[in-house]
Amino acid sequence: MLGWRLMSEPRKASNNPRTPDAKPEPAGTAHDTNQTAQDWVAIGEIAGIFGISGELKVAPLTDFPGRFERTPTVYIGEKRAPYRVLQARSHKQQILLRLEGIADVDAAERLRGAILWIPASQITALPQDQFYVHDLIGMRVRHVSGDDLGTITDVLSSAGNDLFVIRTPTGREVLLPAVKAFIPSIDTSARLITVDPIPGLFDDTADEVQ
């Protein structure tokens, strides 16, 4: 059974810093939190320091670690302070990142443990039949017969197929394999997943959805 491919460039926050404009900004200038709402995506966490010139070791939080080499600006911490990326390179399972304005150990140390963000508008585009996990959370689930079965509350990774966690109208959690045999349609624009589960999986919600 072929499954949907679920990717991770996880959205962690919906905040109120303004949308970044194209004009250069001084490194580390925090965004005004009273401007247009902006969704943000976490792509990495600063795990440590590499060398004595301020280079950062970053643990990727994305299925696309190569994106660091093509991302001109990252936004750090809760205030989403922008830093221009001067260099990014792979090192073992991490990314070594050199940022403008971070040129010594002391400056780098102050960023240890911080999250790296990008605007959600810059997220990597996916081909057909691939979806970001964060886009699936909260989507409505409907049976092919038209019955409403609940909402997606989580996605669990497993050795085989990923599992959709569906909270039914009665509050029960049902695990449904993310395979096309059971999930013929995922419509992100309508925020709707159409399912054709094995008989009996949602039986205890029958009275709620008929």
How many other CB atoms are found less than 10 A from the CB of residue 58?
25
Say yes or no to pLDDT of 207 above 90: no
Task: Report pLDDT digits (tens) over 19-74.
Answer: 222 222 333 444 433 333 458 888 999 999 999 999 999 999 888 889 999 999 99
pLDDT of residue 188: 84
What Cα–Cα distance (Å) separates residue 186 from each residue in 48, 151, 180, 195, 207? 39, 13, 10, 9, 25
Q: How far apart are CA 40 and CA 9, in angstroms?
A: 10
Residue among 124, 75, 65, 73 nearest 96 (CA):
65
Domain count within the chain: 2
Tokens of 117: 């963000």
pLDDT of residue 38: 59
**In this structure, what CATH number is given to the domain that contains residue 191?**
2.30.30.240
Residue 182's domain comprises: 137-209
Asked if residue 114 and residue 13 are part of one domain, the reply reads yes
pLDDT of residue 22: 23
Q: How far apart are CA 136 and CA 152, in angstroms?
A: 7
Of 61, 88, 122, the one marking the end of a domain is: 122
Q: How far apart are CA 141 and CA 1, in angstroms?
A: 20
Asked if residue 141 and residue 118 are part of one domain, the reply reads no
Q: How far apart are CA 140 and CA 152, in angstroms?
A: 7
Q: How far apart are CA 62 and CA 118, in angstroms?
A: 12
**In this structure, what CATH number is given to the domain that contains residue 28?**
2.40.30.60
Of 67, 99, 122, the one marking the end of a domain is: 122
pLDDT of residue 94: 95
Q: Residue 128 domain-assigned?
A: no
Q: Residue 130 domain-assigned?
A: no
